[in-house]
Amino acid sequence: MTLADLKRIRGSALLALAMAMAGGGALWASARLADDVSRGHAAALDARGKAQRGLMSARAEEAEITQKIDRFRHLVERGAIGSEQRLTWVELIRDARARHQLGALDYEFSPQRPLDPAIAPSDAGQLEAASSALRIRLPLLHEGELLTLLDDLSANASALVRVRECSIVRQTPTDTSAEKLQADCLLDWITFRPRTGGGS
């Protein structure tokens, strides 16, 4: 083998080595690029997920605020925010009795007290709830008369009217009374005022 042959072989070997190194570098670069693309894709998916969760949270908060505004507007329209209006309530009870042609009706309001937080409306927010308990007794021809009265009071009172307890007992009929039942109910007449002391 001549010197020229050795030079040609060495040149070919160097060329093969260079090509092998170039191929290895290309493979490494390709793998690195694929890894970078994969990490970038994962980051993009994570960012999109966070954005979607943020959007859903914002929409839920917007819906809650809208609900509270509607609730507040409803209470304002009913006159249930501010001082209790007992004279108006008494007139409403008397008008409802006459409207539905009910018998003698006895009623008594207890002094207003803060409503137990355990039974206060959960969406009161910055409003403080107070309740005036109403004990009401009346004779009935049938249970429907009581339901009609309660529906009337609930729909028209400048307060939220909630039935706390109610009982109906059968009474001995007399010649002067056609009513066969006697109702005894306790109702909460709930009003609201802005909460003091910065409570939430």
Residue 199: per-residue pLDDT: 46
Parse the chain into domains and list their residue ranges: 1-78, 86-194
pLDDT digits 0-9 by tens, 102-160: 988 999 999 999 877 666 665 556 778 889 999 999 999 889 999 999 999 999 998 98
Residue 200: per-residue pLDDT: 44
CATH topology of domain 86-194: Alpha-Beta Plaits (3.30.70)
Tell me the two tokens of residue 144: 């429907």
Task: Please choose, from the candidates 89, 179, 71, 94, the residue with its C-alpha nearest in 3D space to the C-alpha of residue 131.
Answer: 89
pLDDT digits 0-9 by tens, 67-79: 555 555 666 666 6
Sign of CA dihedral 126, 117, 110, 73: positive
Q: How is residue 11 annotated by DSSP?
A: H
Compute the mean pLDDT over every residue in the chain, rounded to the nearest whole number: 78
Q: What's at 188, amino acid-wise?
A: D
The model carries a pTM of 0.59
Task: Please choose, from the candidates 146, 141, 121, the residue with its C-alpha nearest in 3D space to the C-alpha of residue 131.
Answer: 121
Residue 161: per-residue pLDDT: 92
Q: Which residue has the higher pLDDT, 145 or 8?
A: 145
182-196: average pLDDT? 88
Measured distance CA(92)–CA(94) in Å, rounded: 5
The Cβ of residue 11 has, within 10 Å, a number of other Cβ atoms equal to 10
Q: How far is CA 112 from CA 86, 109, 131, 184, 192, in A?
A: 10, 8, 5, 20, 12
Tell me the two tokens of residue 16: 């093969």
